[in-house]
Structures are given as structure tokens and as C-alpha cells.
Structure 1
Amino acid sequence: MEEAHRPSPSADSTAGLSALLDFDATFFFLPLVTLLGFLLPIIYLFPPVPATKADALQQTHDRLGLGRAESNLRAHNRPAAAAVTPGASAKLQALTIYPVKSCRGIELTRSRVLPTGLEFDRLYTFAQLKSPFPVSSAANAAEKEDGHVWEFITQRQFARLANVKVDLYVPRDEDGSRADKDTGSWIVMRFPWRALGIRGVLQTIAAKLVRGWYAEAEREFLLPVGFPTKAEIEQRGYEFEKVKVWKDVVTALNVGVDVPEELRSYLGVSNKLGLFRIDPLGLRQVFRCAPRKEEIGYQPTVGFQDAYPLHLMNLGSLQDFDSQVPKDGDLKYLDVRRFRSNLIVTGAPAYDEESWKSIRFTPGTSTLTSDASFQVSCRTVRCKLPNVDPATGIRHRVEPDRSLRKIRDVDPGAPKMGCLGVQMCPLFEDAESCETEDLRSWLEVGMTMDVQSRGEHVYIKQ
């Protein structure tokens, strides 16, 4: 009878296992939470990843440019951003430079204006070694001279250039102020890249720890802003070579030895990839629709700009054109950054800029005390580059190029070509009495813009 009251072995085992499981879950969970609570802040503040070149530069330099949250173009596609107030002047809404042609731009609040355009604009361009037959990435000097030519590349051919980020660092003076010179300044180039296998996974995790959840692994390299000295050129293995920019051929400094081979793979360039720094002694003089030295005291020049020192866009014109462009799942609206302008103005009627011949910016709400004047040379004749989304590097199949050719075929000098924006040359009051390299003016967001003269524009092809 006593055995009838004894628990069965299976019941004892089940009860013991249940108690053990309850104990283990509690035992492991609480220490784990405590450990994570202790480690996560430390990992966030001191991530276990190697320091980057940008990290090192931040100790002695300031990074130029506005972040996304500070941008003056956050709401540029809203109607209010381009509203015209009767009797009021237009104003300068944003400034952008592109230190490396066809790569990401840097939005500024203020910029110095040089005879070549905005300071630091289009200092570099990528190029590929072209020939009647394929050229390997390992082509030597003898092969390059055998009928080959370096030819600049842009997003027109390689849309992923839009994903190559450019940061510009200028040295801090001893008192903590920012130096206004390119000596000691550096460009940090970054592009998406991760290694294969577990190493690539670790690189992605490290990127997210440092820069946030949406960050991706990147490769970076460093470029000097100032033109290298003869000793630096020899030490680094740079070479002076000819590079073709549209129909012009200029001699520039090839610094391609500093470019990681992975960038060529990322961009999809099959030929040898070069990177050229414009030679200050080899600038291209601008004629065509530009003013002559006899008129303004100097002859405008450019670095690696397409044709003229400066490019201006009117938000009113962009919004009007955007309203006529067919949209689809890949194109919600036209970002003004697609058009890669230096100056963006607001408060002017749509396409009013096409009648401007000269304009003047006055201080307005900016902190400046001086004016800046410009000759408006011609309309900007558009290619297919704006089809590339600047945020993703993905090219739309037809827009806005198709609509530009259909709606904006407005210049008798460029039939069947779409136009949007205008090209400009800076004017300087003391140009006749100063050396060209000493000519300077300033622009700052918030300046007001007044039209000094108007007239017709007819584009002159190269």
C-alpha cells in the first residue's frame, strides 16, 4: 500500500527538469543584460575598429560643408521654396562645390570666388586610358604612348561615381580659427567596398558601430588639395600627362597611383583608371560666350569644369520643369542636385535667368559686407547626366533627358538639346590693375541678387 503513494520516476524527472530550466533561464538572462548594459556604451564610445584617415585629420583640421540636417536644400522641392514675392529680390539659397568632377558635392554656407569659379571646385577628374583596342589596367608607359589617350569620365558613362563621397579638410590655425588657404588641406575620398567572406561581414559591422545602422563598409584614400611640389611629385610617383576634356586636351598631374584598384572594379571601368589634378599653370581659357579680357580686365579660365567657371540654377525653373516631367516608381521628383550647379537661387520667376546678362549679389541677410558680380554667359545645355539619381547612383532609363529635349528645346544655338540653368563668369572691379591670381570676391547664403542687365542668349558650341 505504501508503494501506491510513491511518485513515479517519470514525474520526478519532469519536475526536476522544469525546475532546472526555470533556474537556468533566470540565471543566464540577468547577467547577460547586466553585461550588455555595461559593454554597449563602451563599444559605442570606443568602437573596436581602426581609426580612419578622416579620424586623424579631425585632430588638426576642420571638415568643410553642411550635414544633411543643416542643408539649405532640405525642402527645395516644395512650392514655398521657390515662391516669388512681388517687389522682392531673389536670394542665394545654396552653394555647392565639387572638388572631384562627377563625384559627390559639398554644400557650403560661404565660398571664396576665384577667376576659375568657386574655391576648391573641380580640382580633380577621373579619366580612363582609351585606345582603338582594349587597354589593360596594368598598361605600361610604352603602351600608353602607342596611340592611347587619357579621356575624362563622368556619371554619363559610370553612374556609380555619384556614390563616391568627397570630404574636404582645411587646417585649423593655432588660435582655433579656420585657415583660408589650400596649403595643408586634404580631400578624403570614400566609396562603398567590402571584402569577401567573414572579413567583409566584420567590416560592415564595424561601419554600423561607428556611423549608424544604415552605414556600409567603405574604402578611403587621401588626396592633397594644394598642387604638389616637385619633390612631392617625384616621391609619390605622380606623372604629368595629357588628358582630354571634351574637345580640349590639357596637361595635368596624374595621381592615379594613390587610387585603390578596388575603385576601378566598383565603378565598372575596364580600362586603366587615372585621377588627374589640374595644373594651375595649365588652366583652360574660356571664350565662346564668355566676355573678353578687353571687356572685364582678364580672360576667364577653368579647371575641370565642363566649359565655364560657374553654373547657376533657379529653383523656380526647376520646379516648373519638374511639374511637367512624367513620374514613375524610380522617379518621384527631380532633386536639384542632379544638375550639379554651384549657385542655387530662389525667388526669381521660372526661366527668368535666361534673360540675365549680368547680375550682382549684395549682402542681404548674410554676414558679408561686399558685393559679388557675374556675367551670365549662356544657357546650360544638358546631357544625360541628370538621369542619374545623386542619392543612389542609379540611372533612370529616359528621364529627365527626354523631357529636357522635348520641353526645353529653347536655344537656337543648341537645337534639339534641352537647356536648364545658366553658365557664368565672375567679374572683379579691380581686374585691370591686379594679377589674375589675386582676384577674389565672396558669396554667402542669404545674399540678395539683382539683375544688372538683360538680353538674348544664343549658345555657341565648342
Structure 2
Amino acid sequence: MPTLSAITIYPIKSCAGLSLEEATLTPLGLMSAQIYDREWMVVDSNGIALTQREHPRMALIKPTIKGATLEVQAPGMLRLEIPLGLPDPQTAPTLQTQVWDDSVLAYDCDALTAEWFTQAIGVPCRLARFHANAERAVSTKWTNGVAATTMFSDGYPMLVTGTASLDDLNQKLVAAGRQAIPMNRFRPNLVIDGIEAFEEDYAESFQIGEATLKPVKPCPRCPMPSIDQATGEFGPDPLDIMQSYRAKPELEGALCFGMNSILIAGVDQRVRVGQEIEVTLAF
């Protein structure tokens, strides 16, 4: 029986992930200790998202849940503590942010936080937090008209991958004289053991307890899988190997790994590492 082998949230978009033993499924994505996946985002002076694509050292910014704060650390920096309590939506300073083509209202975190991230990344920037009154709808082109929302993710609330898919890619990398790479290069939220390589591509649904996840769109990969998440530096790039067998015609030849997914049943259900998953294939 397939099982859930890893759970990860990324509290700050494009920064390090937070590995969990269990989490709560919500329509906006995974949540733990009232922290949502990609609830925060680093932006430039125009409110546009900064990511590892241009600033790979963002991988070294590591968040940890410490009581009522999100503690953030980076090499050579004093730790930063970000209060988890939501600001007053009526009085807190705000800014308009941009994620791809979406304009999203966000809370503007304070000047001290902005200075910390500016020093950690090396460019002027600020930290934004998804606003309580904001709503960001996903494209229904891939959901067959089913409405869904997300926070600051690239496009969908959850990314699901299979362990066997990475094993398959690593076998090809090693055969080509390259180093195997870890799953964190692909930054999934949920990883499934016990299914065939890339079986997640053909799934109709993932049933986890009372919850049902629907995979809706293959995840196109940018250069981020070539960034070593432990060093924040560009390392061996798997995309040329992926070019030989992971190009998706329905996405104009984009190289894909993992399935963007939405929650269609089981809001607020808890999931845990080791839990059994029923995978229903679409054929």
C-alpha cells in the first residue's frame, strides 16, 4: 500500500523548507501551528517576488517554529523572530505584491525585518505576508472548472511527488556519470512511497484518510532543481537528463516533475508521515 513518506511546508516562498511529521490539509495548502505553506514572500521595491531562480542563497534562509514566533536564521546573521499573530487587517501597513501575473494584497512586515532580509540576500527587499482579506484563485484551466485558491505558491496549493520518480531520475543521472540529487531540489509538499515511477502523473486522486487530493497539472521545472539546497549554490543540473524523457507536450514541452494538486474533500484533516494513501489512476 502506498504511504506518505515526507511532509514539508515552505513558510517563506523560495526559502528553506520545514520538514514535519504531520500537518493539516486546507484549501490554501498545508498548515502547521497556524503557519501556512508560502504564507510569506520576499519582494523587491516594486512588490515583485524574489526567488531562488535569481537569488539561490535564499535556500540558506531557514525558518523554524518557536512558540509564538517564526524564527529565521541565515549564515552569518543573528536570528530573526517574526510574530505569528496576524496583524490587524484594518490598521496594519500593506503593499501590493506580484506573483507571476497575479497582484496580491499583503501585509508589509516592519523595517527591521526588511533590513534583515536585505542583508541575508544581498539586494534591497522586504518581507510580505499574505493578507487576511486577500484571495488568490488558481487557474481553472487545469482543474476542469473546480475553484481553488492558494497563497504565494507559484500556482497551486500543493505539490505531490513520488519517491520512485526521483529514484528513476537518479538512476539516469548516475548512469551518465553524474551525482544523484535529493528530493528537496524539487520542493514538494507531500512525497509518496510505494507507487511506480511517475505514477503520480496519471493519478485521478490521492485518498489520505478522509481527505481527497486531486492532481491537476504537471509541475514545470525552472532552473531551481539545479540549486543545492544545502549550499545555496548552483550544482549539477538535472534538466538536461530530464529533457530526454520528461518533456510534456501539453505544456509546450516543459520539463515536469511532480503534480500540482488541490484539496477537494477533507478540509482540516490531519495527515502524518507513514499514513496509507489510496491512489486512483485516471484510466
**TM-score > 0.5, shorter chain as reference:** yes
After the TM superposition, which residues 103-252 of structure 1 pair with which residues of structure 2 at under 5 Å, given as runs? 103-119=15-31, 120-129=36-45, 149-170=46-67, 185-193=68-76, 218-230=77-89, 233=92, 239-252=93-106
Aligned length: 278
Does residue 401 in structure 1 map to residue 239 in structure 2?
yes
Counterpart residue number, 1:424: 261
Does residue 350 in structure 1 map to residue 262 in structure 2?
no
Q: 1:226/1:290 Cα in 2 relative to 1: closer, same or farther (>3 Å)? A: farther
Which consecutive residues of structure 2, in runs of 5 or more, have no partner in the other structure? none
After the TM superposition, which residues 198-347 of structure 1 pair with which residues of structure 2 at under 5 Å, given as runs? 218-230=77-89, 233=92, 239-259=93-113, 261=115, 263-269=117-123, 272-286=124-138, 287-293=140-146, 299-325=147-173, 332-347=179-194
What one-letter code is carried by the residue in structure 2 that aligns with 1:187? Answer: L
In 1, the alpha carbon distance for the partners of 2:113 and 2:176 equals 37
Q: 1:227/1:405 Cα in 2 relative to 1: closer, same or farther (>3 Å)? A: farther
In 1, the alpha carbon distance for the partners of 2:175 and 2:114 equals 38
Instruction: State the secondary structure of the residue aligned to 1:324.
Output: helix
In 2, the alpha carbon distance for the partners of 1:314 and 1:125 equals 27
Q: String of CA shifts for 1:353-385, please: whole Å, max 9, x gaps.
A: 1110112023xxxxxxxx221111121111111
In 2, the alpha carbon distance for the partners of 1:393 and 1:256 equals 26
What one-letter code is carried by the residue in structure 2 that aligns with 1:222? Answer: E
Q: String of CA shifts for 1:174-219, please: whole Å, max 9, x gaps.
A: xxxxxxxxxxx310111112xxxxxxxxxxxxxxxxxxxxxxxx32
In 2, the alpha carbon distance for the partners of 1:259 and 1:440 equals 31
8 Å contact kept, 1:404–1:417: no
In 2, the alpha carbon distance for the partners of 1:337 and 1:275 equals 23
8 Å contact kept, 1:111–1:444: yes
In 2, the alpha carbon distance for the partners of 1:361 and 1:230 equals 34
Question: Quick check: which one's strand share is greater?
Answer: 2
In 2, the alpha carbon distance for the partners of 1:117 and 1:262 equals 27
Q: Cα offset for 1:232?
A: 7.1
In 1, the alpha carbon distance for the partners of 2:117 and 2:109 equals 14
What one-letter code is carried by the residue in structure 2 that aligns with 1:405? Answer: Q
Which consecutive residues of structure 1, in runs of 5 or more, have no partner in the other structure? 1-88, 130-148, 171-184, 194-217, 234-238, 294-298, 363-370, 430-438, 456-462
Q: Which structure has more RCO (C-alpha within 8 Å, separation ≥ 6)?
A: 2
Q: String of CA shifts for 1:371-430, please: whole Å, max 9, x gaps.
A: 22111112111111111101111112x611222233311x2222332111111101226x
Counterpart residue number, 1:215: none
Counterpart residue number, 1:102: 14
Counterpart residue number, 1:27: none
8 Å contact kept, 1:380–1:422: yes
What one-letter code is carried by the residue in structure 1 that aligns with 2:141? Answer: R
Counterpart residue number, 2:280: 452
Q: 1:359/1:327 Cα in 2 relative to 1: closer, same or farther (>3 Å)? A: same
Q: String of CA shifts for 1:125-166, please: whole Å, max 9, x gaps.
A: 10112xxxxxxxxxxxxxxxxxxx321011111010011110
What one-letter code is carried by the residue in structure 1 that aligns with 2:270? Answer: W
In 2, the alpha carbon distance for the partners of 1:316 and 1:260 equals 40
Counterpart residue number, 1:368: none
User: CA RMSD of the aligned region, Å?
Assistant: 2.1
Does residue 440 in structure 1 map to residue 272 in structure 2?
no
Q: Cα offset for 1:260?
A: 5.5
In 2, the alpha carbon distance for the partners of 1:245 and 1:414 equals 20
- Runs of 4+ with deviation above 6 angstroms: none
Does residue 93 in structure 1 map to residue 5 in structure 2?
yes
What one-letter code is carried by the residue in structure 2 that aligns with 1:152? Answer: A
What one-letter code is carried by the residue in structure 2 that aligns with 1:399? Answer: D
Tell which structure's C-alpha radius of gyration is larger: 1
8 Å contact kept, 1:325–1:399: no
In 2, the alpha carbon distance for the partners of 1:291 and 1:225 equals 35
Q: Cα offset for 1:347?
A: 0.9
8 Å contact kept, 1:114–1:426: yes
Q: String of CA shifts for 1:94-127, please: whole Å, max 9, x gaps.
A: 1011111111111111111111010121110101
In 2, the alpha carbon distance for the partners of 1:413 and 1:223 equals 41
Counterpart residue number, 1:46: none
Q: 1:301/1:124 Cα in 2 relative to 1: closer, same or farther (>3 Å)? A: same
What one-letter code is carried by the residue in structure 1 that aligns with 2:17? Answer: G
Counterpart residue number, 1:433: none
In 1, the alpha carbon distance for the partners of 2:280 and 2:144 equals 16
Q: 1:248/1:231 Cα in 2 relative to 1: closer, same or farther (>3 Å)? A: closer
Identity between Structure 1 and Structure 2 (%): 26
Q: 1:157/1:327 Cα in 2 relative to 1: closer, same or farther (>3 Å)? A: farther
What one-letter code is carried by the residue in structure 2 that aligns with 1:403? Answer: I
